[in-house]
Amino acid sequence: DQQVKQNSPSLSVQEGRISILNCDYTNSMFDYFLWYKKYPAEGPTFLISISSIKDKNEDGRFTVFLNKSAKHLSLHIVPSQPGDSAVYFCAASDGDYKLSFGAGTTVTVRA
């Protein structure tokens, strides 16, 4: 049973607008969360992370929000750019250095 779920397989957004990607998890032992970005024919690359002791982490255009009580996190991309078109994976760890991944959300940024 998948412990990390990304319920939206795809997202289309206009250039310059905000992209919001959502992720839910079921394992209450998860305490570290990451987002990875993947272009076709390449491996995933680390984008941003957040520890469970925080509820927000920001890095340039990317912000991750964590709601522990709802077991939910989201990634905001503002403003969205054409180069942001990719697959985004949510991942979580319970401290043993293994990651559980969601199925991914494909983001398409329209000009």
Partner 1 sequence: NAGVTQTPKFRVLKTGQSMTLLCAQDMNHEYMYWYRQDPGMGLRLIHYSVGEGTTAKGEVPDGYNVSRLKKQNFLLGLESAAPSQTSVYFCASSYGQERGPRMGTDTQYFGPGTRLTVL
Are 59 and 48 spatial neighbours (Cβ–Cβ below 8 Å)?
A: yes
Per rule CB under 8 A, is residue 93 in the interface with partner 1? Answer: yes
Sequence-ordered list of residues with C-beta below 8 angstroms from that of 64, at least 6 positions apart, any chain: 33, 35, 48, 49, 50, 56, 57, 58, 73, 74, 75, 76
Nearer to partner 1, 39 or 56 (CB): 39
Per rule CB under 8 A, count of chain residues that contact partner 1:
25
Would you count residue 51 as binding partner 1 (CB under 8 A)?
Answer: yes
Residues at the interface with partner 1 (CB under 8 A)? 2, 4, 6, 9, 32, 34, 36, 41-46, 49, 51, 89, 93, 95, 97-99, 101-104
